[in-house]
Amino acid sequence: MGTRAKEPMAVRIVLLGTAAGGGFPQWNCACALCAAARRGELPSRTQECAAVSGNGRDWWLLNASPDLRAQLTGTPALWPGPGPRDTPLRGVLLTDAEADHVTGMSELRGAAGLTVYAAPPVRSVLAPARAALGRYAAWEWPDSLADGGFVLSGGLVVTAHQVGGKIPKYVPSGASEPGPWVTAYRVEDLASGGVLVYAPCVGAWSPVLDGLCATADCVLLDGTFFAADEMGTAVRKGAGQAAMGHLPVTGPGGSLEALARHPGARRVYTHLNNTNPLLDPRSPEHARVAALGVEVLPDGTELTC
């Protein structure tokens, strides 16, 4: 059969959304950047979410943003058909249990046979949501951190790696224990050998991340905050940025100096907060990142690796 050779021999990755929780502009934020987005001077961004496929027919979501319905509707590769309820969507890989990464699963309710991978603390805190979704359709919820990783339809081999321990704010104090609340995924395409590292939430850099980046063809990395104090500058003092669990791009130990050690991979910042000057492609901050070969891309961009 000659058809197999015609298939794209690469991982396809669609950046469905690239903003942090709240999106860009954020509905209740009148900061300078959000105001510029409302005037149409900067591109709007939906909340962070991506889709990955090894064969172009079976697609897996990387997180499930609250904007998922619009993101799926705007992406022809993810459209349903040919049967009235056929869909190329096979499941979701969750990196954490934050509201901006899990709320979109509600939009998928009733879809047949999805599989949702998540780390044990995430599966645990989502128990009520799992029960509710289970009343619409039977889904599988395997442990993303199980030994040996897992294989996805379409020929992708995946491993999960803890990169943070931040517990979502909606979880009552004392109700949960420390653990692998935040993970990154390494996605390798068996056919091409291409490797994606997906880490939209990173609490602190670690040797684990250096090891992942060293073997990656493409890295999607947490670019939430450019500087450690930008929320206090843009919105109000005491905005609690440090407690939000995102390593800034700049500063000692920031992610930019870490990424500079891995020039062999395509490196893309995602999960951009509405206060981040990287949202403005004309800013000196954007130029500084671009000079190191690190990218900030618009929603809808498709990458291959």
Residues that bind its own copies (CB under 8 A): 22-23, 25, 27-31, 34-35, 38, 44, 46-47, 66-70, 72-73, 78-87, 89, 99, 103, 106-111, 128, 131-133, 135-136, 169-170, 172, 234-236
Q: Does residue 204 come out as left (phi exceeding 0), alpha (psi in the -120 to 50 range) or beta?
A: beta
- Of the pair 81, 252, the CB lying nearest its own copies is at 81
Shortest distance in whole angstroms from residue 79 CB to its own copies: 6
User: What is the rounded distance in angstroms from the CA atom of residue 74 to the CA atom of residue 205?
Assistant: 34
Contact 244, 271 (CB under 8 A): no
- Of the pair 23, 277, the CB lying nearest its own copies is at 23
User: What is the rounded distance in angstroms from the CA atom of residue 105 to the CA atom of residue 281?
Assistant: 32
- Of the pair 23, 154, the CB lying nearest its own copies is at 23
Shortest distance in whole angstroms from residue 87 CB to its own copies: 5
Shortest distance in whole angstroms from residue 121 CB to its own copies: 16
- Of the pair 94, 234, the CB lying nearest its own copies is at 234
Contact 192, 14 (CB under 8 A): no
User: What is the rounded distance in angstroms from the CA atom of residue 122 to the CA atom of residue 50?
Assistant: 19
User: What is the rounded distance in angstroms from the CA atom of residue 300 to the CA atom of residue 263?
Assistant: 24
Shortest distance in whole angstroms from residue 82 CB to its own copies: 7
- Of the pair 31, 191, the CB lying nearest its own copies is at 31
Contact 118, 94 (CB under 8 A): yes
Shortest distance in whole angstroms from residue 81 CB to its own copies: 4
